[in-house]
Amino acid sequence: MATVRVVFFAHLREMVQMENTSVAIVDLETSTIASLMEHLMATIPSFKTYYQTNAILTALNQQMSNIDATIQAGDEVALFPPVTGG
């Protein structure tokens, strides 16, 4: 089965109460970070709650990315809140 590893950072990790998860990819032709996030909202209620009220940045294979990026089997998608310096 083709999967993508999803890693949660900062207070998003605390909200969903997990460091990471694996998600099966159904359609390798049209899977994007946006479709992955839709799946996460449908399966992790606390992620949906967080996403509806907070911004989330994304990285694909350790490179900043946008939600329209295509994902493939074996990819790692990191999700994290924006950070600010002091």
Q: What is the pTM of this model?
A: 0.90
pLDDT in tens, the chain (86 residues): 689 999 999 989 999 999 999 999 887 677 999 999 999 999 999 999 999 999 999 999 999 999 999 999 999 999 999 875 55
8 Å CB contact between 56 and 16: no
Domain ranges in the chain are 3-80
Three-state secondary structure readout of the chain: CCEEEEEECHHHHHHHCCCEEEEECCCCCCCEHHHHHHHHHHHCHHHHHHHHHCCCEEEECCEEECCCCECCCCCEEEEECCCCCC
Please name the fold of domain 3-80.
Ubiquitin-like (UB roll) (3.10.20)
